[in-house]
Amino acid sequence: MYALVDCNNFYASCERVFNPSLQQKPVAILSNNDGCVISMSDEAKALQLPFGAPIFKWEAFCKTNNIAVLSSNYPLYGDMSSRVMNILHQFSPDIEVYSIDEAFLQFKGFENYNFTNYATAIRSKVLQWTGIPTCVGIAPTKALSKVANKIARFNIEKTGGICVIDTEEKRIKALKWTPLKKVWGIGWRLQKRLENIGCKTAWDFTQLSDEYVLKTFSITELHLKKDLEGIAKLTLEDHNKSKKAIATTRSFEFTYTNIEDIKERISTFAASCAEKLRKQQSSCHMVIVLLRSDRHKKDTIQHKVSKTIVFSHPTNSSLSICNAAVKTVESMFKKGVRYKRAGVIVTGLVPTDNHQLNLFSKENPKHKPLMSAIDHLNTRFKADKIKLGNQDLNRTWKMRQERLSPKYTTNINDIITVT
């Protein structure tokens, strides 16, 4: 059996743990740079505040309806997520942390357990130890546990935040209740294709023949179908394994028209990617540089461009990656455009200690010990004290967070004091 444990309205719930005045009140959390609504409480959803709503357009609506609007407090959310996941490890050694607010648990050797009681114990301990409410869906497969979780979340007063699919009758009933758009693994494109052949629910999808699904779609959709049928095809994944690509993309605090400002930002993003490469002991063959104007300012010149640089040999040197990225920006930049967002992606990753060498070119041998020394110093002093010359030495990237709550659990100066 598998369980999906999902934290309810996680960002808003984290804020409520340390600010009880927000309980039972509508709460909305904003994205980077206080841009759009990315999370909200049930009370805010009931007021029909849309996800992704640009706050500058919905500011008056929020004030009229007394919606508490807060900046994303990622240090707080990350720490609370870690606490929740540590608790879940007590209930099963087999766990896949799927996202910041949800995790899959696999129960091996739990045949004689009462899963309703076990799910109740999970919810109770997480709530008691962290203050975060959760919903738990338990079923024979990962895909079905997702369905069970959505049923548990749909009407918490009726379900108690728990749904266990442990019989064929419950499986069929659950799939007939679940529309295609609610099925984990079915995106909007696949949804449209399935709707065109008459599929409206998860149950309709499982009634297609295996041969038809494999021929018309792919093995991925076939595995999803079998999982929904109760035949486990999707197993727990190790999200700690090396990534296939690493990206650093950011919106600027302000729009930039000066290429020197953009080059400094690109250099910083590239250095961040290079550092992440070294942490997972990988090197990259390619770097992709992204640059985009402010798409919300329709009355200004729009420009969106990306370019790829291919290295003759794999590298994880900040010097090599930053130099290539900055030179690329020079060819991408257009005068008169107000740029709002940029990014660097490193891909074509290979292990640093095991890759194909090039007969005619290689990394400068001085780079490796230099990067090692920089990483050591930055780790020791817990900050990016050592930077490249084309980075702003007095600047660290900082989001616009005008509505930020205190970092209650990660900053000693923000710890709650009781008087």
Q: What is the DSSP code string of 70-89?
A: E---HHHHHHHHHHHHHHHT
CA–CA distance, 75 with 58 (Å, rounded to integer):
26
The separation between CA 410 and the C-alpha centre of its own chain, rounded to angstroms, equals 20
323-357 pLDDT tens trace: 999 999 999 999 989 999 999 999 988 888 876 66
Listed as own residue / partner, the contacts of 178-184 with beta carbons closer than 8 Å and 24 or more positions apart are 178/147, 178/150, 178/151, 178/202, 178/203, 180/204, 180/205, 182/147, 182/150, 183/143, 183/146, 183/147, 183/224, 183/228, 184/142, 184/143, 184/146, 184/147
Is 309:286 a contact under the CB 8 Å cutoff?
yes
* Pairing assessment for the beta strands 162-164 and 282-293 based on DSSP bridges: unpaired
The residue ranking higher by pLDDT, 94 or 375, is 94
> Above 80 in pLDDT, residue 400?
no
Written as six digits, the tokens of 133 are: 């409410």
pTM exceeding 0.75 = no
| Contact (Cβ atoms closer than 8 angstroms) between residue 326 and residue 266 | yes
pLDDT at 396 over 60: no
What is the C-alpha separation between 407 and 336, in angstroms, rounded?
39
Confidence of residue 225 (pLDDT cuts 50, 70, 90): very high
Mean pLDDT, residues 358-370: 78
Q: 163 or 313: whose pLDDT is higher?
A: 163
SS3 341: strand
CA distance 349 to 321: 13
pLDDT digits (tens, 9 = 90+) for 283-327: 999 999 999 998 878 888 899 999 999 988 889 998 999 999 999
**Residue 175 to residue 364: CA distance in whole angstroms:** 58
Is the per-residue pLDDT at 129 higher than 90?
A: yes
* pLDDT surpassing 60 at residue 398: no
> In which band, very low, low, confident or very high, does the pLDDT at 403 lie, cut at 50, 70 and 90?
confident
Q: Phi-psi bin for 382: left (phi > 0), alpha (psi -120 to 50), beta?
A: left
pLDDT at residue 142, rounded to an integer: 94
Share of the chain above pLDDT 70, in %: 93
Give the DSSP letter of residue 386: S
pLDDT at residue number 408: 85
- Contact 144/228 with Cβ under 8 angstroms? yes
pLDDT band at 383, cuts 50/70/90? Answer: low
**28-37, 142-151, 280-289: range with lowest mean pLDDT:** 28-37
* pLDDT for res 324: 92
pLDDT at 170 over 70: yes
Q: State the pLDDT at residue 22.
A: 92
Q: pLDDT of 255-289, one tens digit each?
A: 888 999 899 889 989 998 999 999 888 999 999 99
**Confidence band for 381, pLDDT divided at 50, 70 and 90:** confident
Q: Residue 288 and residue 273: Cα distance in Å, rounded?
A: 11
Q: Residue 240: what pLDDT?
A: 56
Task: Tell me which of 299 and 84 has the higher pLDDT.
Answer: 84
Mean pLDDT across the chain, nearest whole number? 88
Q: Assess whether pLDDT exceeds 60 at residue 64.
A: yes
β partners of residue 316: none
The Cα 315–Cα 310 span in angstroms is: 11
Does residue 137 carry a pLDDT above 60? Answer: yes
Residue 86 clears pLDDT 60, i.e. is over it: yes
pLDDT band at 207 (very low <50, low <70, confident <90, very high): very high
When pLDDT is cut at 50, 70 and 90, the band that residue 29 belongs to is: very high
- Looking at residues 19-34, what average pLDDT do you find? 89
Phi and psi (nearest 5°) for 241?
Answer: -70, 165
- Helix (H), strand (E) at residue 196: helix 188-196
